[in-house]
Structure 1
Amino acid sequence: MNKLINDNLYETRNNLITEITLLSDAQFNSKPDMNKWSIAQVCHHLVLVEEASIKAIAWGLKEIDNTQKERKKIHLILLDRTKKIKAPKIVEPDVEPFEVQQIIDLLNDSRKNLMTFLSTIEDKSILAEKSVKHPAFGELPLDQWIEQIYLHEQRHTEQIKEIKLLLDARH
């Protein structure tokens, strides 16, 4: 896989883990307000998105249609946190509490699954040629599905930093 994408996946995940490692389970599961997700839920959402992305890419690889789809400026959309994107039901987090270590394990598992899956794709160039419908972006080339994993994670890491500040302000 493209070294830049690999480095971005690695670096973004490390930043995320750094943000959550020292939290108590109480802080981790505390919601800044009733209509917002806890940090635990944000992280669970990231696990679900990574798992759903693997499925979408796998599905897209089986598609016969190879018409070149338009590349989207997904970084502009995902990194602009003024624009809210409603999570599809399939990637909505559980409501019951999580332990920090439990989520770190889930994040590690989903990342390992992603990397293992990507390593099985012999001809990586096919990822730029095939596409699958993304809930927020419409038809999205498969290589951009991989990019959206770390861009989406960067977006939510910023959200986690904000939640931590809000939680600190309450104490």
Structure 2
Amino acid sequence: MNPFIYDQLYNARNNLMKEITLLSDAQFNSKPDLNMWSIAQVCHHLVLVEEASLKAIAWGILKSDLAQQERKEIPLLLLDRTKKLKAPRIVEPAVEPFEVNQIIDLLNDSRKKLLAFLSTIEDKSILAKKSVHHPALGELPLDQWLEQIYLHEHRHTEQIKEIKLFLDMGH
């Protein structure tokens, strides 16, 4: 598997952490309006997506059939924030408030699990040869499931920056 993917996972997570580390718990849980998520909820959603993606990739590897799926233009699909995507119920964040450190622990934990799992895959080329259905993107090769983790994280880091401006938190 391409080392680029590891770099991208690292960069996306680094950028996210820069945005949230210095927030107070009150800022973290403030909602710009009732129909929007708080920064805490956005981050909880990212944890749930990473965990769900890990399960999907693990399940996809166990599937016996090799089916080369058509590759998707995930950056176009995920990084265009004018296109609203509805989070599937399974990755909707909790409504109760979170502490910043609690979410940072959850993010670190989900990333550790993902990297530990990836290190157990001896032949990573298998990831391009098998696919699993993604709720928002359709049938998706497993290596693109990895790609969507960091692109999705970039998308939501941009959203967090907007929420901070909206709540006038500045930098």
Q: Shorter-chain-normalised TM-score: which range? A: over 0.9
TM-score, length-scaled by structure 2: 0.97
Whether 1:60 and 2:60 are equivalent positions in the alignment is yes
Q: Who is 1:36 aligned against? A: 36
Sequence identity (%): 79
SS across alignment from 2:26: helix
Is 1:155 paired with 2:155? yes
Q: Any stretches of 5+ residues in structure 1 without a counterpart?
A: none
Structure 2 unmatched ranges of 5 or more: none
Q: Who is 1:91 aligned against?
A: 91
Instruction: Give the C-alpha shift of residue 64 in structure 1.
Output: 1.3
Match in the other structure for 1:78: 78
Which residue does 1:24 correspond to in 2? 24
In the alignment, structure 1 residue 103 sits paired with structure 2 residue 103: yes
Partner of 2:9: 9
Runs of 4+ in 1 over 2 A off after TM superposition: none
Q: Deviations over 1:20-51 (max 9, x none)?
A: 00100000000000000000000000000000
Q: Which amino acid aligns with 2:42?
A: V
Match of 2:69 in 1: 69
Deviation string 1:59-87 (CA, Å, 9 cap, x unpaired) is 00011121210000011010000001100
**C-alpha displacement at 1:154, in angstroms?**
0.1
CA drift of 1:3 comes to: 1.2
Query: Within 1, Cα distance between the matches of 2:64 and 2:96?
Result: 41
Aligned residues: 169
How far apart in 2 are the matches of 1:11 and 1:128?
22
**Which residue in the other structure is 2:130 paired with?**
130
Per the alignment, in what secondary structure is the counterpart of residue 132 of structure 1?
strand
Partners in 1 of 2:14 and 2:123 — Cα distance? 28
* Whole-angstrom CA distance in 2 between matches of 1:50 and 1:78: 15
Amino acid at match of 2:60: G
Q: CA deviation at 1:11?
A: 0.8
The DSSP-based 3-state class of the residue aligned with 1:125 is: helix
